[in-house]
Amino acid sequence: MKALAKARLAPKALLLISVAIAATLAACETPPPPPPPPEPVAEAPPPVLLPSRVIEMAQVYKEYVDRASAIDAGFTGGDAIAASLKTGENYEISQFQRGETAYAAIVALQDPVFVATMRSFASDAGQRTQVANAVMRDPFYAASFKGADSAAGLVIAALSAQGRRIVDAGAKVKQAAYDVQHQSWSKADVPDRPGRLALAKSLSSVQQRPIEEGGVATLRLAATGTTPMIMSGAPAGPPYTPVVARALAVAAMASLGQGGEEYTEQLVGLLSEPGASTCLQMAKLNLYQCLAVSKPHYEDVFCLGQHILADTGQCVIRGAQVAVYVPPAPVALTPVADTQPVKKAPAKRAKKK
């Protein structure tokens, strides 16, 4: 009986022995390595933005270009000339210069290579700050990055085209200064000449607000890349004009994510270029001198065509490139005759002897 009991207990003993042996072997094995730590999540770069004030400056500039280049040279009276003078005179120099550069910055943001290059620094806060500080110290630094040549090409093409539009309108108006002399009304003196000059100076000293809210929205969408502009222009290497260089700098800041509303003062300061304003200051000074000596209406037409339209358009072009655009020369009509019939003096009667 004892032998039978031992035989029945043997499998249980063997099982316990097997478990003990397995536990001993498991204790001797090397424990598995801990799971790897989770990979760090990349910092999301700040969005591409421009402050509202910068976009509004760009829109004010664009609206002026559109209005000035649309001035009709078919004058039929002094009132039409006075209205066109008001349209052309209505810009403040510093705002115009900053607005031109702001518009150019939005154009530069249409270049995908330049934007992608600057965005590559935006994800790292340290790199982003380092590049942004360098751009603020020297705006020309932005021109050293990949894609700057193609972005600059877009800017040069856009500003040059806008400048030519204004200059061409000026050429037509200057031609009208000759043409209208065939009409007697054009030879009459302009009424209230001192008041007209004072108005020109007043309109030149007041900063404007955008008229078309839809235009502001369109530029904002273009700046953020939501609705890109349709732009074209051949790549252009340095050296660049200060306006082009500053436009690239502002576009670089926007692409780095340093273009939100909190950066308004920095970017407005980056837009300012005193040297670019000199050309506009001379255009205004020449306009004031022209209006001061102008008497008949047709001379006001010349002041409008030359010193408002042609001179301002050339300043826009000089902001983009060194070369000056030369429009077709006006055709001088000689001799200038009045269309009104000339009354002959009555013949003198012979004195009777």
Give residue 217's pLDDT: 97
- Beta bridge partners, 189, equal 296
Q: What is the pLDDT of residue 343?
A: 44
Pairwise CA distance, residues 297 & 29, whole Å: 106
Model pLDDT, residue 32: 65
- Report pLDDT digits (tens) over 209-236: 999 989 999 999 999 999 999 999 999 9
User: What digits encode the pLDDT tens for the residues 88-133?
Assistant: 999 999 999 999 999 999 999 999 999 999 999 999 999 999 999 9
268-308 per-position pLDDT tens digit: 999 998 888 899 999 999 999 999 999 999 999 999 999 99
Distance CA 209, CA 233 (A): 30
Q: What is the pTM of this model?
A: 0.81
pLDDT at 275: 81
pLDDT digits (tens, 9 = 90+) for 40-65: 556 788 999 999 999 999 999 999 99
